[in-house]
Structure 1
Amino acid sequence: MPRVVLFQPQIPPNTGNVARSCAATASELHLIEPLGFEITDRTLKRAGLDYWPWVQLHRHADWEQFQRHRRARGGRLLALSRHGSHTYHRVVYRTDDWLLFGRESDGLPPELLTEADASVSIPMRGSIENGGGVRSLNLSVAVGVVLFEALRQLDGAADPATPAQP
């Protein structure tokens, strides 16, 4: 199952919503500190509702500790960025992928992008690059888009769907 990694998340409700998606999909959630809130923050708990007991939560004191953990377990590191070179729905996902998402305010630092096996983007027609005013999607929305595409691909490969009957 792909794992979700949040690099120094800053907004409690976003992390709570991501945690809820991880609980619903049985996906691990890795948080790389420092966090912009306390893990016991009331708004974090509220956003995750009562799903926290089902979240496979892993906390890492810093980037280096996370990288040691990831390398020991194996798998590709896919960094999500609006500057990514691969579109999320064209990536062929693997069960041991690590889906890395950056801070809400400024995304992933450039040096982290260079450490990733690939950089991935979610195209936005209304983005600044396309003449619109949108810089990025909400963190929890971005995680949902990519995580569910990965699961769609992997579930389809493991258990082909029966064609729909008219």
Structure 2
Amino acid sequence: MKLYIRNMACESCKVLVKEELVKLGKQPLHVDLGEVDVKGKLSEKEKKQFAAAIKKAGLELTASKEGLLIDKIKATITEYVANADQIRSNLSTYLSKKLNYDYAYLSSYFSAMQANTIEQFAISLKIEKAKEMLVIDGLTLTEIAHKLNYSSVAHLSAQFKKVAGLPASHFKNLNKVRRITIQSL
């Protein structure tokens, strides 16, 4: 049986889904972002229990693939940003190859379903990652620009100020860290 799950964006989501299925006595055959193959069928009662369990983590059991492409796009962009220093292709090429869709289709679909573009989402995600690197990891802007594949520190600084509303140097000195969860982007 195939189940479709919205908002799966990371490896810990996959682990949670597997654990919850095992608690129900079900064997997950394959877990991927947005979908899981389960050996056998789930009763309506089991589906409700599973849905309630994963909802606590912000996941949602859905009846079809509708909308899952958005989640896959977001998860792939998140993966791209997390591994930016190791990936040697641009975002559009990376998305197309990973999702097996033409980038123009992905871009128009994402824009139609979301309040922003793929590029805007990716920039927001990169800036949140930059905030984390500044505050938690204590990296310099030069190191962050390199790790996130920015062409220059000036480019990172300009985007940081535009998205965060203040320069990175001021942000680092704030006592109150203003960070946004990935799910709310």
Which TM class, normalised by the smaller chain length?
0.3 to 0.5
Q: Larger C-alpha radius of gyration, 1 or 2? A: 2
Q: Which has the higher contact order (CA 8 A, sep 6+)?
A: 1
Q: What is the TM-score when the length of structure 1 is the normalising length?
A: 0.33
The structure whose residues are more often helix, as a share, is 2
Instruction: Determine which structure has the larger strand proportion and give its number.
Output: 1
